[in-house]
């Protein structure tokens, strides 16, 4: 057996760009192809925007312009501009930036001097222009290597910074920017910064009332009472309860950064609301009854915040900084004083809130017995039936960025689950096998989640009975056949999540797995095609005698082939709720009583299905 020599030659030093390109997950989390809101290409955009936001927060530049055409991103702010002699250093030297000077950037998002450098290193093209005091400095890079370092010249343009970049396909593969994710990101920035205008691809985004506007835009059902909006020094909170039957919804931010995974400030918000309400009503209500169907948002300004990863999705700081108390104490004290005062001044609203809590209490007690039995059944079923083939990440101490890759595939039948199980990444990918078609749960109460074995086991596998805080998988992927039955199962599962766990969809955890419909190959090459257009292109590309296979079900795809479809080149369609769509409207349209509108929708899609069926028949004849 050969021995590895450990000598001076074994010790290597990587420069800044090589280290970022070799270990991108350390800097931007998971890579992805743009189908998930936390994929790396959106983190690149966010890193640039965070710098623009820090300028705005410091009082410079009220407008930010964003343009995304294809794969090219351009961001222009009207702040002070980077000092011209330091432009090159700020985008190509790790641990270099103005935010180390806390006098200049007291409450900035990024303090580690990495963000813009990561964008530069992970882009096949990167350009920065700094306009300052009637002069401009321009630098261009390819994958972190300088290709242009211009002299400072005069300009007539306003002060500010303009960054252009194209994410590197060598790192991200075939990617796409989804407009819904970017619009949501832009809205969050303007909600947190009243007075800021962001122009994205020509559309202006602006907010007058901060977190009040944010909550108003997120509410999809009738409110129990008007939104409570509380503002203090370095803290802003908005909250209400909806008539949605289940779940808690939170939006948390630190120094303008959307902390999608929460952190110390969100925990303090949840705790402070419960403590204040218990004291106000002088009754020890269960925390779950107080928070059931709550919708709340918090924005906090912290000196030199510490996040749990470079992607800044979870706040790890315990202190406010600047001699202030801990975040927990600061937020709790603010809620105790402000919310208590508000409830005393608004007795009618306080009465509505108490009735909501009492209603939740009654519903919880009605379900308590059956929930206990369902947990016991779930344990037995998972133990003996092996419906869930879990991944190992929950048992191994893997890095935080790999936890973003945790995925559960929900499959129909044993053949499909068998192929995925044999070809999956056992570290991060789990498989849950359905038995038959799920129940149509439209209009049913949550009691059915515990009484129906499939729903009960699925809920147990995801660990979402008490909310999303303990969700075991970042990505929930519905993997069904691309036929009528498979699409029906998709619809039934989406109905289940919309009806009982809508936050899974609102927080972008639910996806549909795309698998190829056709395999086109000759003796030299094989091409997998996901639609008729790709199939036509493949037929034109490959010469000679072709073998064309139509995959009619996931079980027909061998494990060796399946590995490619759920690996690095996985194609996922995210389930996204459009801003003007309510959950109630969606469920009524697809799962309610038949209507002329839905009949038209079905007839139109049947035409598409019939076209595909005829194509399949033609392939079979060949």
Q: Which of 443-447, 495-499, 516-520, 569-573 has the lowest mean pLDDT?
A: 443-447
Position 422 pLDDT exceeds 70: yes
pLDDT at 437: 87
Q: Give dist(CA 204, CA 97) in Å, integer.
A: 30
Residue carrying the six token digits 């909806």? 242
Q: How many residues does the chain have?
A: 622
Position 349 pLDDT exceeds 80: yes
56-98 pLDDT, tens digit each: 888 899 999 999 999 999 999 999 999 998 888 888 877 555 4
pLDDT at 256: 78
Given pLDDT bands bounded at 50, 70 and 90, which one contains residue 599? low
Position 523 pLDDT exceeds 70: yes
> Residue 436, class by beta-carbon neighbours within 10 Å (0-12 exposed, 13-18 middle, 19+ buried)?
exposed
Pairing of β 145-149 and β 135-142: antiparallel
pLDDT at 157: 94
| CA dist 49 → 65, 188, 270 (Å) | 10, 12, 29
Domain locations along the chain: 16-206, 211-364, 386-515+551-581, 592-622
CA atoms within 13 A on the CB side of 226: 8
Q: Out of 239-248, 540-549, 588-597, give the one with best mean pLDDT.
A: 540-549
CATH number of 211-364, picked from 3.30.43.10, 3.40.718.10, 3.30.230.10, 3.40.50.300: 3.30.230.10
Instruction: Report angle CA 39, 494, 559 to the nearest 5 degrees.
Output: 65
Fold of the CATH domain 16-206:
Heat Shock Protein 90 (3.30.565)
CA nearest to 203, candidates 178, 179, 219, 220: 179
Mean predicted confidence (pLDDT) in 164-177: 93
More confident residue, 399 or 424: 424
pLDDT at 464: 87
CA nearest to 290, candidates 223, 216, 366, 361: 361
For domain 386-515+551-581, say whether CATH 3.30.70.100 is its number: no
pLDDT at 4: 57
Q: Give dist(CA 67, CA 77) in Å, integer.
A: 12
8-45 pLDDT, tens digit each: 554 455 677 888 888 888 888 888 889 888 889 999 99
pLDDT at 378: 60
Given pLDDT bands bounded at 50, 70 and 90, which one contains residue 350? very high
The fraction of the chain above a pLDDT of 90, given in percent, is 41
**Mean pLDDT, the chain, integer:** 83
Mean predicted confidence (pLDDT) in 358-369: 85
pLDDT at 383: 44
């Amino acid at each position: 057996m050969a021995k590895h020599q450990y000598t001076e030659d074994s010790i290597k030093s990587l420069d800044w760009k090589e280290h970022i390109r070799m270990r991108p997950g350390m800097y931007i989390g998971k890579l992805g192809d743009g189908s998930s809101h936390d994929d790396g290409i959106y983190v690149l955009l966010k890193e640039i925007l965070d710098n623009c936001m820090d300028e705005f927060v410091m009082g410079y530049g009220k407008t930010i312009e964003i343009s995304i055409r294809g794969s090219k991103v351009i961001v222009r702010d009207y702040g002070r501009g980077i000092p011209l002699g330091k432009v090159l250093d700020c985008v190509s030297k790790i641990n270099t930036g103005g935010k180390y000077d806390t006098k200049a950037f007291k409450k900035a998002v990024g303090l580690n001097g990495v963000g813009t450098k990561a964008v530069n290193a992970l882009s096949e093209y990167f350009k920065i222009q700094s306009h300052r005091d009637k002069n401009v400095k321009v630098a261009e890079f390819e994958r972190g290597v300088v290709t242009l370092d211009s002299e400072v010249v005069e300009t007539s343009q306003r002060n500010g910074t303009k960054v252009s970049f194209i994410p590197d396909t060598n790192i991200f593969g075939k990617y796409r920017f989804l407009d819904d994710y970017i619009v949501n990101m832009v809205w969050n920035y303007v909600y947190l910064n009243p007075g800021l205008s962001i122009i994205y691809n020509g559309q202006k985004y602006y907010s007058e009332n901060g977190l009040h506007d944010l909550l108003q835009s997120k509410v999809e059902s009738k409110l129990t009472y008007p939104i409570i909006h509380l503002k203090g020094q370095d803290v802003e909170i908005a909250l209400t309860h909806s008539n949605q039957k289940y779940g808690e919804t939170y939006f948390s931010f630190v120094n303008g950064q959307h902390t999608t995974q929460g952190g110390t400030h969100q925990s303090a918000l949840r705790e402070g609301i419960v403590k204040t309400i218990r004291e106000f009503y002088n009754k020890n209500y269960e925390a779950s009854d107080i928070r059931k169907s709550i919708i709340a948002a918090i924005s906090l300004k912290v000196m030199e915040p510490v996040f749990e990863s470079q992607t800044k999705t979870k706040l790890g700081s315990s202190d406010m900084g600047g001699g202030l108390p801990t975040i927990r104490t600061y937020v709790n004290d603010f809620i105790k004083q402000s919310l208590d005062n508000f409830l005393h001044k608004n007795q009618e609203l306080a009465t509505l809130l108490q009735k909501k809590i009492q209603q939740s209490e009654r519903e919880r007690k009605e379900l308590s017995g059956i929930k206990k039995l369902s947990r016991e059944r779930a344990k037995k079923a998972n133990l003996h039936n092996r419906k869930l083939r879990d991944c190992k990440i929950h048992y191994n101490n893997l890095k935080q960025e790999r936890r973003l890759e945790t995925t559960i595939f929900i499959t129909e039948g044993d053949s499909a689950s068998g192929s995925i199980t044999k070809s999956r990444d056992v570290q991060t990918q789990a498989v849950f096998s359905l038995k038959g078609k799920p129940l149509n749960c439209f209009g049913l109460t949550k009691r059915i989640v515990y009484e129906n074995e499939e729903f009960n086991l699925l809920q147990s596998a995801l660990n979402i009975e008490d909310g999303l805080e303990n969700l075991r998988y970042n990505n929930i992927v519905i993997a069904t056949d691309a036929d009528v039955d498979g699409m029906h199962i998709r619809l039934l599962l989406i109905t289940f999540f919309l009806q009982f766990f809508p936050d899974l969809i609102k927080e972008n955890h639910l996806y549909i797995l795309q698998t190829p419909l056709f395999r086109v190959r000759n003796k030299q090459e094989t091409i997998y095609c996901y639609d008729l257009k790709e199939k036509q292109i493949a037929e034109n590309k490959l010469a000679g005698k072709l073998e064309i296979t139509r995959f009619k079900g996931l079980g027909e795809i061998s494990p060796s082939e399946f590995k490619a479809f759920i690996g690095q080149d996985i194609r996922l369609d995210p389930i996204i709720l459009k801003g003007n769509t309510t959950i109630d409207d969606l469920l009524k349209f697809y799962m309610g009583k038949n209507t002329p509108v839905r009949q038209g929708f079905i007839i139109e899609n049947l035409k598409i299905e019939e076209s595909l069926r005829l194509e399949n028949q033609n392939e079979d004849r060949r």
